[in-house]
Every structure is written in structure tokens, then in C-alpha cells.
Amino acid sequence: AGESDPLITEVQDWNRYLGAGVQAAPYGVPSAHEAHVVRRDVEWLTASTESSVNFTPLHALDGIITPNGLCFERHHGGVADIAPADHRLMINGLVDKPLVFTMADLMRFPRENRVYFLECAANSGMEWRGAQLNGCQYTHGMVHCVMYTGVPLKTLLDEAGIKTNGKWVLAEGADAAGMTRSIPMEKALDDCLVAFKMNGEALRPEQGYPLRLCVPGWEGNMWVKWLRRLEVGDEPWQQREETSKYTDLLANGKARRFTWVMDPKSVITSPSPQMPIAHGKGPLVVSGLAWSGNGRIKRVDVSIDGGRNWTTARIDGPSFSKALHRFYLDIDWDGSDLLLQSRALDEHGFYQPTKNALRAERGENSIYHNNSIQTWHVKEDGTVENVEVS
């Protein structure tokens, strides 16, 4: 701002006239100046929008909670439109007492509030063979982090009474995709949640309204939306989503299966290709997200020279198990090229691998479970590009 900045010296319209009154937007919407902060898809990625994905604008967000309207969407058969009064949740199979719950029934069980990330197993899948998509929204945006309110799955299974040979739970969705996944009983009884609220309000239709399953730390595909049935069985069901899809083809032709846990991962959200440095050299806030399906993030290291030297970043905000963590590194940018990287370490001692280490272990045929270190090339003019270092 110069000496005669009209924004300082002159009265502005918003200062002169009354603004909109209460009830101008009974359900609030973001400022019109934030209209560019939206979920985006990649048109060439899928043949139709009903079986497709859009991405969370991670580059434009801060803190650890994803606003509901910006949580990425992944549907295999479009968004089911279900009136809560018409929704039922059935428990059948190896139980003492098969049960059917209405939404009203579910509201009478003791409930819990928990913050979890959800990451699609295919997040970063396009980056296996080389740097491809130019923006963390696209490379890492199949993740969101929400506070869910719901009833522990264990409570509902206990109500039905699991028979001694009940070792697996099949979760089934009510959408046109009829998504089904087998979940081992140990996990079902540990921390799974049958949720009806997200960040305090009802689940959004895109996120499974009126009911979804949360399978904390495990791949997003298991978090069945529009949850309508839980079957208890003695072995996995070998559904499409655990045979043809969501398996990891290795270099030797064998495939890893039932790779549930999302391993530690992180990404610098700013600066990033969609968030270039606009202010020139001097103080620069490097900001990013880290998460692990194993538990809490213990440490995040940031490198500005492509992984030669590392500095421990500052984790700020709550550190919940199996939730996003926000980190910052406040640096004095000298205006030179940077090769920005971050690497997460979780409380169980698991580190994020380099891209080359991941490929050495898992080959180049995979789509799912790419948790490798991301590199952003920051140029002298402040623009940023998705690159790889060898």
C-alpha cells in the first residue's frame, strides 16, 4: 500500500451502506470472494460422474477439520437420496437375534464424538509412475477429516449378540452401487462407528446421509455410505471390492490383498502448484497436513532441498489418533529455487517412504496405497510445480 491508499483514505461502500440482514442466508454459505475454493474433478479420469471422484481443495484450507461442503466425494453409483424415515439398518447372519433399526431407534443408543480422517485407497494413485497432476488438490485431495457423531458398531453388534463363530462383518450400502466390504470382527469391535452426524450437522447426502460406517485409519472404501446392512459371518465374503478392486498388484505378478491400514503420509499444502508464493522473498509460512492410519503423528520433517536436509516442523492444533495433523515451518525465503518435501513419522515409528523406496518394494503396477514423499519445485518467481527427485 502506497502513501495515498484509497482503501485507507476513502470511505468504502461496505462502510457507508447497511449490509444484508439476518436470514439473508438461513443456511450460511461462504463469502462470494471464496468462490474458487471448491471440490474439483478431473474429467478424463472416469467415464461418468456417477462412478467418479472429486477432490478436496486442500491447498486453500487450514487447521485439521474439512468443511462439510468441501469433503471430497467418491461414489460408485451416484448419491442415494434417502429420507431418514425410510432408512433401515439390518443386522443378520451369525447373531443370536437378527435386528432391524430405524433411525429413531439408533438415536436412543449412547453416542460418541470422534475426529477421523478418511482417505481413499486410490489417493495419489495417479502419481505412481511419475509426477502427473499439478496441485495437492488432485495429488492428495482424496482425504477429509471430520468430527463424527454416532453409535459404536460394537454397541449394535452386542445388541444382536455375536455367535462364537462370528469372525467377520459385511457392511452393505443402500445406494445403486450396493457397496459391500468384509471387516474383521476385531476391528468392528474396536473403534468402528455408525455415524449420523458430521461436524455437528447431519451427514451430507454425498457422505452417506442418513447413515455411514466409519472404519478409522482404514481405506476409505470400507467406510460404507448409506449403510443399510451388517451381516456377521465366519469368513470374508470375497466381494468385488476386495478381489478385483482394492488389491495391489506387485512386480512379481502376485497381489497384496486386504491392505486395510492407510500408512503415514503428509503433503505440503502451501506453497503448492495451486498456491504459488505471491509475496516475494522474506517470511514464508510453509504449511501442510500429515496423517496415519496407525494412530497419532509424532513428528513431521520438512526439507527445502529435495530431501538432503530435514528440519522438524511445528505441529499445531489438536493431535487426535487417526486424524489429520496440521504442521507449519516458518522460514525466511531467500527467493531461490526450493525442492519442498515433507515426511511424516507416526507414534508407532512408521515413516513415509521416498517414491523410489516405495517402487522398489511394491513395483509400478499399483494404484492404491501410495504414501510416498511428495516434492514441489518452488521457482524463483514463486510458481510451484509437481516434480520427482531421484
| Closest CB 226 distance from ligand MTE, rounded Å | 5
Nearer to ligand MTE, 95 or 224 (CB): 224
Q: Does 74 bind Co ion (CB under 5 A)?
A: yes
Residue 192 contact partner, candidates ligand MTE, Co ion, none, CB within 5 to 8 A by sort of partner: none
Beta strands at 88-93 and 227-233: parallel, antiparallel or unpaired = parallel
Q: Residue 106 is inside which H or E element, if any?
A: helix 103-106
Using the minimum distance from each CB to ligand MTE, give the nearer residue, 219 or 346.
219
Grid coordinates standing for 168?
Answer: 467377520
Q: Smallest distance from the beta carbon of 221 to Co ion, in angstroms?
A: 4
How does strand 74-75 pair with strand 88-93?
unpaired
Least distance in angstroms from the C-beta of 214 to ligand MTE: 10
State the nearest-atom distance from the C-beta of 120 to ligand MTE, in Å: 3
Task: Considering the complex, state which of residue 73 and residue 388 has its C-beta at the smaller distance from Co ion.
Answer: 73
Asked if 271 contacts 384 with a C-beta cutoff of 8 angstroms, the reply is yes
Whole-angstrom distance, CA of residue 74 vs CA of residue 51: 8
Min dist. Cβ of residue 170 to Co ion (A): 18
For ligand MTE, the closer of residues 75 and 140 by Cβ is 75
For cell 470511505, what's the residue? 11
> Cα(349)–Cα(121) distance, rounded to whole angstroms?
21
* Residue numbers 325-384 binding Co ion by CB under 5 A: none
From residue 25 to residue 64, the character string flagging contacts with Co ion as x (rule: CB under 5 A) and all else as - is ----------------------------------------
Query: Per-residue contact track with Co ion, 102 to 131, x per CB under 5 A?
Result: ------------------x-----------
**Residues contacting residue 252 through CB under 8 Å, at least 6 positions apart:** 363
Q: Cα dist. 380→275, 276, 281, 338, 383 in Å?
A: 14, 11, 9, 8, 7
3-state DSSP call for residue 15? helix
- Cβ(301)–Cβ(312) under 8 Å? yes
Of 288, 300, 389, 373, nearest to 337 by C-alpha is: 389
If the CB atoms of residues 214 and 329 are measured against Co ion, the closer one turns out to be: 214
Radius of gyration (C-alpha) of the chain in whole angstroms: 23
* Interface with Co ion (CB under 5 A), residue from 220, 236, 273, 306: 220
Applying CB under 6 A, the residues found at the interface with ligand MTE are: 71-76, 118, 120, 144, 173, 175, 177, 179, 206-207, 220-221, 223-226
Q: Binding-site residue total for Co ion (CB under 5 A)?
A: 4
Q: How far is the CB of 118 from ligand MTE (least distance, A)?
A: 6
The entry of Co ion, ligand MTE, none that residue 76 binds, CB within 5 to 8 Å by partner kind? ligand MTE
Cell reading at 133: 497432476
Query: What gap in Å lies between CA 106 and CA 340, rounded to an integer?
Result: 47
> Taking the complex as a whole, how short is the minimal distance between the CB of residue 205 and ligand MTE, in angstroms?
10
For residue 85, the minimal CB distance to Co ion (Å) is: 29
Answer with the entry of Co ion, ligand MTE, none that 127 interacts with (C-beta below 5 to 8 A by kind). none
Residue closer to ligand MTE (CB basis): 131 or 224: 224
The residue (of 172 and 388) whose beta carbon lies closer to ligand MTE is 172
Cβ burial of 55 (10 Å; 0-12, 13-18, 19+) is buried
Coil, strand or helix: which one is 69? helix
- Which position's Cβ is nearest Co ion? 120
The phi-psi region of residue 377 (left if phi > 0; otherwise alpha if psi is between -120 and 50; otherwise beta) is beta
CA dihedral 122, 123, 125, 129 (to 10 degrees): -160
Contact between 227 and 174 under an 8 Å Cβ cutoff? The reply is yes
Closest CB to ligand MTE belongs to which residue? 173
Q: Which lies closer to ligand MTE via its Cβ, residue 225 or residue 355?
A: 225
Nearer to ligand MTE, 51 or 347 (CB): 51
Asked if residue 57 has a cis previous peptide bond (ω within 30° of 0), the answer is no
Interface contacts to Co ion, rule CB under 5 A: 74, 120, 220-221
